[in-house]
Structure 1
Amino acid sequence: MNLYRSARAVAGASGDDMIDWQSAADAAKAVTEPGSLELEPGEREAFARDVREAREAIRTVSGVDFDVPDSIEIQNRHHWMDANIATFERVMGTLEEQVPAGAFPGVARTINTGTMTVLLAFLGRNVLGQYDPLLLANDPEETHALYFVRPNILGAAEKLEVDANRFRRWIAFHEVTHAAEFGAAPWLSDHLEERMEEGIAKLSDGSLDRASFQELDAAMTVVEGYAELLMDHAFDDEYADLRRKLDARRQGRGPLQKLFRRLLGLGLKERQYERGKHFFETVVENRDLETAALVWEGPENLPTQDELDAPTMWLQRVDR
C-alpha cells in the first residue's frame, strides 16, 4: 500500500473530463494490495467446473436456454479494477454530457477523481464475482465476461470460517444465475441502460424522473429476486449458513464501511434482493417456475412497483 503514490495520482488528475479515470485507477491500485493469483493445482479447472455445472443445473430447473462465456477470468483486485474502469467511465459519461463544467473544473476534477478512487478501492477489496452483461460494456460487440476475484473469495471464506471450495462454488452459481437472466432476456441490457440514462438526464436538468428510477428499481428487484429463486432450486448444497454469515458480516462493519455501502447503493441492492425473493416465492407457490420466467418475455411483463408487493396482481395480468 502506498498512500503517497495514491495521493500524487489524484493530485495529478488532468484532462477535460469530470474524472481522470486513469489517475483514479492508479490511485486505487496504489492503496489496494492486489492479492495472490498463485493457483493451487487443479484450481483453475475447479472454477471452470463450477461454472459448467451451475449452467447445467440452472438450465434444468429454469427451462431457460442460455450460455456462459467460453472462458472465465480469475482475477486479483487490480485486474478487477482495470476490467471495470471502462464500465464506470461509460456510466458517468452520460452525466458528463449533461452537466456543465463549472467555474473551477480543475478543482472539481481532482475532487471527483479522489472520490472515485475511494469507491473503486472499496469495491476492489469486496467484490467476489461478477457477471458483466452487455449493459455498460465498453464495446457492444464484446462477449460477456465472468469474473472471479480470487483473493476476495479466499479472504471472505476465511473470515466467515467456511470451506473455500464450497464458498467458491456458491459464488459461481450466483453469477451464472445472472447469465441465465440476461440470456433469457436479450432486451434487458438496453432496458436497464435506457432507464438509467433517462433518469440521469432529468437530474442534470434539475428535475427528478421518478418513473424512470422506479422502473429501474423494479427491474433490478426482479434481477436480484429471480437469481435467488434459481439459487434455491439449483444449488446442490445447503447455503443458508453462507447467506446468514454474510449478512452478519455486513451488519458488523464499521461506520465508514457502512457509509461506502450507502454511497454505492448496496443497501438498496439488499432491499431489492429481499423484495424480489418474496415476489418470486409467492409466484412459485401460486403457480410454478415456468410462470416465474414470464418476466423475461419482454419489458411489458416486468412487474410494476405495486405488483412487486402484490404478486397475485402480476399473475392476473400476465398468466392468461
Structure 2
Amino acid sequence: MTSIGGAQMVDWNLAVATATRLVRPGPDISREEARAVVAELRRHAKASEEHVRTFTRMVPEGTEPEDTPVLVVDRAGWIKANVAGFRELLRPLLAKMESRRTGGPGGAVLGAVGGKVTGVELGMLLSFLASRVLGQYETFAPATRDLPASADGGGRLLLVAPNIVHVERELDVDPHDFRLWVALHEETHRTQFTAVPWLRDHLQGEIQTFLDETDVDPMTFLERLREAAQSLSGAGRPEGEQGESDSRSLVDIVQTPAQREVLGRLTAVMSLLEGHADFVMDGVGPDVVGSVSEIREKFQQRRAQGAGRLDQALRRLLGLDAKLRQYKDGEKFVRSVVEEVGMDGFNRVWTSPNTLPTKAEIAQPADWVARVHRKAES
C-alpha cells in the first residue's frame, strides 16, 4: 500500500466498508425473482454480442468478447470492482507521491489523516454512484479472488441487477425489453475494446498523462482543496458575482492547465464511446427491443430530471452532468457521420488515435468527415 509520512495515501478497505455501509438498499425482490433477473441478464449479454457485431460491423481482433467475463453484481459487488479498478489505475500516481513526499507540515497533516479521510470520501462517492450505475465495461480491471477479469489484464462487463430492476420499475417499462436494451449498451463498449486492440492502451496512456500532471506537493494540494471548497460554496465571492465557475465540477477546479488539455482529448474519446453505445442500443433496438422508443423517451426524461435538487447538485459537483452531455453530444456525432458516410465510413474512426475526433469535431461532425475522409480521398 502506497503511503506518505508513514500513513496510507488511500485506505482502500475503508473505502469499501464506507461505501457498503452507506449505499441504499436495493428494491424489494424475492430470491426466486432475483435469480430469474440474473439469469435473464446473462442471456441478454450473450445475445447482445451478435446483435452488436452485425449492426456495427466491428469484429473482435484476438480477444473474443467471451474472454472478458460478464458479471451480474449487486451494489456491493459494483463497489468492490470499482475500488479494485481505482487502486490499479492510481497506483503510478500514488507511487509518485510517495517518492516526492516532504517533511513539511503539509506532508505531516496529509500523512496523518489523508489515508483515512480519502478512504471515507471515496467511499461516500461510491455509495452515491453504486445505486445509479446500470452497467459498466471495466477497461482496467485487475482480477481478484472474487472478481475475474480477462486474461490480458483488463476487461470485464458488469451489470448491476438491483439498479436495473429499480429503474425499469420507476420508468414503468417492459422489464425484459429494458434489460436487453441495457445489455446492448454495455456490449457495445465491450466490442469497442475487443475490436480495436490499440484503444485500451491509448486511453490508459491519456489517463496516466493526466495523472502525471497532478501537482503532488502536499501543501499545494491542500491549498487547491481549500480553493475548491471556496469555489464550490461561493465563499469570499460578492453576491451577484457567481459566474461560470459555479457550474464547474470538483475535477474541473483542481486541474492544472496541462491537465485541461489532456482532459479535452479524453472528453472527446469518452463522448465518442458513450455516444456510439447509445446509437447502437437504439439502432439495434427496433429489431429486438419492441418498446425501444418508449424506453428511450422515458429514460431521457429521467436523465435530464435527476432525482431531486440534492441529486442534481451532487451530479454537478462530481462532473456527472458532463458525462450526460457526452452521451448526447457523442450520439449526435455518430448519427451525423453515419448518415453522411455510412457505417463503414464511420468505422474509420477506429483506424488509429489520429482518426479519433477532437473535442471540437464532436460538436462539428462535418469537420471530422472533411479531415478523415476527404483528406484520405485527395
TM-score, normalisation: structure 1: 0.86
The structure 1 residue matched to 2:21, chosen from 13, 17, 30, is 30
* Corresponding position: 1:166 with 2:199: no
The secondary structure found in structure 2 opposite 1:243 is helix
Q: Does the CA-based 8 Å contact 1:187-1:298 persist in structure 2? A: yes
* Corresponding position: 1:273 with 2:319: no
**1:85 is matched with which residue?**
83
**1:291 is matched with which residue?**
345
**2:196 is matched with which residue?**
185
TM-superposed CA distance for 1:127, in Å, is 1.4
In structure 2, relative to structure 1, the CA distance for the partners of 1:106 and 1:225 (3 Å cut) is same
**1:19 is matched with which residue?**
10
| Structure 1 segment 72-151 matched on structure 2, within 5 A | 72-99=70-97, 100=101, 102-104=107-109, 105-133=111-139, 135=140, 137=142, 141-142=152-153, 144-151=155-162
| Structure 1 segment 295-310 matched on structure 2, within 5 A | 295-310=349-364
The structure 2 residue matched to 1:242, chosen from 279, 295, 316, is 295
Distance 2:189 2:131 in 1: 22
TM-superposed CA distance for 1:37, in Å, is 8.3
Q: Does the CA-based 8 Å contact 1:160-1:246 persist in structure 2? A: yes
Distance 2:172 2:6 in 1: 46
In structure 2, relative to structure 1, the CA distance for the partners of 1:38 and 1:15 (3 Å cut) is farther
In structure 2, relative to structure 1, the CA distance for the partners of 1:249 and 1:229 (3 Å cut) is closer
* 1:121 partner amino acid: S
TM-superposed CA distance for 1:246, in Å, is 2.8
TM-superposed CA distance for 1:203, in Å, is 2.9
Q: Deviations over 1:227-268 (max 9, x none)?
A: 122223212224233233233334142333223323433211
Q: Name the larger-Rg structure.
A: 2
Distance 1:98 1:118 in 2: 25
Greater Cα shift, 249-258 or 188-197: 249-258
TM-score, normalisation: structure 2: 0.74
The secondary structure found in structure 1 opposite 2:336 is helix
* Corresponding position: 1:261 with 2:255: no
The structure 1 residue matched to 2:163, chosen from 152, 164, 183, is 152
TM-superposed CA distance for 1:62, in Å, is 1.3
* 2:31 partner amino acid: E
Q: Does the CA-based 8 Å contact 2:349-2:355 persist in structure 1? A: yes
Alignment root-mean-square deviation, CA:
2.5
* 2:22 partner amino acid: V
* 1:280 partner amino acid: V
In structure 2, relative to structure 1, the CA distance for the partners of 1:109 and 1:280 (3 Å cut) is same
In structure 2, relative to structure 1, the CA distance for the partners of 1:313 and 1:31 (3 Å cut) is closer
Distance 1:212 1:220 in 2: 12
Distance 1:93 1:261 in 2: 26
Give 5+ residue unaligned stretches, structure 2. Answer: 144-148, 221-255
Paired positions, count: 306
**1:233 is matched with which residue?**
283
Q: Deviations over 1:29-78 (max 9, x none)?
A: 12235646835365444223212221111111111113323552221111
Q: Does the CA-based 8 Å contact 2:14-2:116 persist in structure 1? A: no
Distance 1:187 1:15 in 2: 39
Q: Does the CA-based 8 Å contact 2:42-2:72 persist in structure 1? A: no
Distance 1:98 1:245 in 2: 46
Greater Cα shift, 20-29 or 82-91: 82-91
Give 5+ residue unaligned stretches, structure 1. Answer: 1-13
Distance 1:54 1:193 in 2: 26
TM-superposed CA distance for 1:219, in Å, is 0.9
* Corresponding position: 1:46 with 2:40: yes
Q: Does the CA-based 8 Å contact 1:34-1:78 persist in structure 2? A: no
Greater Cα shift, 288-297 or 97-106: 97-106
Q: Does the CA-based 8 Å contact 2:138-2:154 persist in structure 1? A: no
Q: Does the CA-based 8 Å contact 1:119-1:260 persist in structure 2? A: no
* 1:77 partner amino acid: R
Q: Does the CA-based 8 Å contact 2:306-2:312 persist in structure 1? A: no
